[in-house]
Amino acid sequence: MSRVYNFSAGPSMLPEEVLKKAADEMLDYKGSGQSVMEMSHRSKVFKSIIDEAESLFRELLKIPDNYKVLFLQGGASTQFAAIPLNFMNGSGKADFIITGQWAKKAYQEASRYGNARIVASSADKTFTYLPKTKPEDFDPEADYAYICVNNTIYGTCYREIPDVGSIPLIGDISSSFMSEPVDVSKFAVLYGGAQKNIGPAGLTVVIVREDMLGKARDITPTMLNYAVHAENGSMYNTPPCYAIYMCKNVLEWIKEQGGLEKMKELNEKKAKILYDFLDSSKMFRGTVVKEDRSLMNVPFVTDSDELNKKFIAEAEEAGFVNLKGHRTVGGMRASIYNAMPIEGVRKLVDFMAKFEADNA
């Protein structure tokens, strides 16, 4: 068996230990005589899995007690509609910072339901930086402000969460979920799809402050109403059981590694190896301004489309897969989430150095 280094933006690598554990437990989960895929979501044994997943989230992220943790489906994209339907129900206004395609999609979806306003955008420079904002930029009457914390496609990440004044802040953290500590209390709602950093596709985790619940519009579909899911412990209907189980395994792995402080240290180390190389290379360069660089998604280019293509093809052959940049950006992108081992990044950089020498 040989495994590749997978630099995909998502679904992405999972820790090998987690995959092996899932394989070991596949046919008979802890003496239940069943796979987690087969068991009732209302069984005691599954209850212990979802409870453990929630308590690991709370422990690792230090989630305050006045927040609910919801295990939902539909991906981050479904929340783009659920968020306005749940919260855009006071003034009907919401303020957005547009830092890339995911923030834009969330804005566009919210625009269908109310008065969504763009406070700042970095579209002028292809989202290669994060626009600076001040608390006064935000409408104190808005029902919420919205940001995308880590911009998967363009490779920017908020190192400091913007101050939006007195209104609730909602953040999409899909692609940096559990990659480093976050002050959850700065957000009214923080959510993400699992498939970038914390498990397989199919699970979306929504962390919501209790006072935000109960504001949904009458027309909100029951399945998109966060209060309904909160009241039912994420069991209003069948939750994505196996994805929750895998997520639990990933969170256990994160805890074994030393928690989010340790993840941050490792992620900084990995990103530094790649960024240092990009900064010293004469062929490759990063596309994002230094102060806004993501630790998770590293876009880079050469000055020639042909060289980009050649690089991606040769890298793939050498076992470094999914390095092609997003179809809207071109070039390359290395996603180096928690599960990417440091050797994967070191070997990629060695490969890039050799490619540069061979093609100089």
| Residue 41: CB atoms within 10 Å | 16
Query: Catalytic: which of 102, 143, 270, 324?
Result: 102
Residue 147 beta carbon to ligand PLP: minimum distance, rounded to whole angstroms: 10
The answer, yes or no, to whether the previous bond of 11 is cis (omega within 30 of 0) is yes
Q: Could you say whether residue 172 binds ligand PLP (CB under 6 A)? A: yes
User: Which window, 60-68, 172-180, 262-270, 274-282, contacts ligand PLP (CB under 6 A)?
Assistant: 172-180
What per-residue string of b and e applies to 298-320 under the rule 16 or more CB within 10 Å gives b? bbbbbeeeebbeebbeebeeeeb
Q: Exposed, middle or buried: residue 255 (CB in 10 Å: 0-12, 13-18, 19+)?
A: middle
* 21 part of the active site: no
How far apart (Å, rounded) are the C-alpha atoms in residues 302 and 7?
18
Range list of β-strands (E), 136-294: 144-148, 150-151, 156-157, 169-172, 189-193, 204-209, 285-286
Q: Could you say whether residue 196 binds ligand PLP (CB under 6 A)? A: yes
* 253 part of the active site: no
Instruction: Provide the token pair at 239.
Output: 């939750």
Q: Which is nearer to ligand PLP, 284 or 293 (CB)?
A: 293
User: Which residue of the chain is nearest ligand PLP when measured via CB?
Assistant: 75
> Residue 209: what are its φ and ψ, rounded to 5°?
-70, 140
For residue 29, give every residue at least 6 positions away whose Cβ sits within 8 Å of its Cβ, in sequence order, or none.
Answer: 35, 36, 39, 45
Interface pick for ligand PLP out of 6, 128, 156, 175 (rule CB under 6 A) = 175
Instruction: Provide the token pair at 270.
Output: 């990995």
Q: Could you say whether residue 220 binds ligand PLP (CB under 6 A)? A: no
Q: Exposed, middle or buried: residue 340 (CB in 10 Å: 0-12, 13-18, 19+)?
A: buried
21, HSE (Cβ side, Cα atoms, 13 Å) = 15
Residue 211 beta carbon to ligand PLP: minimum distance, rounded to whole angstroms: 25
Q: Could you say whether residue 174 binds ligand PLP (CB under 6 A)? A: yes
**Dihedral angle sign, alpha carbons of residues 250, 252, 256, 260:** positive
Q: Which is nearer to ligand PLP, 57 or 102 (CB)?
A: 102
Q: Could you say whether residue 109 binds ligand PLP (CB under 6 A)? A: no
Residues 45-104 that bind ligand PLP (CB under 6 A): 75-77, 102
Size of the site for ligand PLP (CB under 6 A): 12
Q: Which is nearer to ligand PLP, 10 or 200 (CB)?
A: 10
Q: Could you say whether residue 197 binds ligand PLP (CB under 6 A)? A: no
Interface pick for ligand PLP out of 5, 6, 7, 10 (rule CB under 6 A) = 10
How far apart (Å, rounded) are the C-alpha atoms in residues 271 and 156?
13
Residues 252-291 that bind ligand PLP (CB under 6 A): none
How far apart (Å, rounded) are the C-alpha atoms in residues 18 and 169?
33
Query: Catalytic: which of 95, 139, 143, 196?
Result: 196
Residue 178 beta carbon to ligand PLP: minimum distance, rounded to whole angstroms: 14
User: Which window, 171-179, 224-232, 259-267, 332-340, contacts ligand PLP (CB under 6 A)?
Assistant: 171-179
For residue 65, give every residue at least 6 positions away whose Cβ sits within 8 Å of its Cβ, in sequence order, or none.
Answer: none
Residue 136 beta carbon to ligand PLP: minimum distance, rounded to whole angstroms: 27
Q: Could you say whether residue 148 binds ligand PLP (CB under 6 A)? A: yes
* 172 part of the active site: yes
User: Hey, which residues are catalytic here?
Assistant: 102, 172, 196
* Residues that bind ligand PLP in the complex, under the rule CB under 6 A: 10, 75-77, 102, 148, 152, 172, 174-175, 193, 196
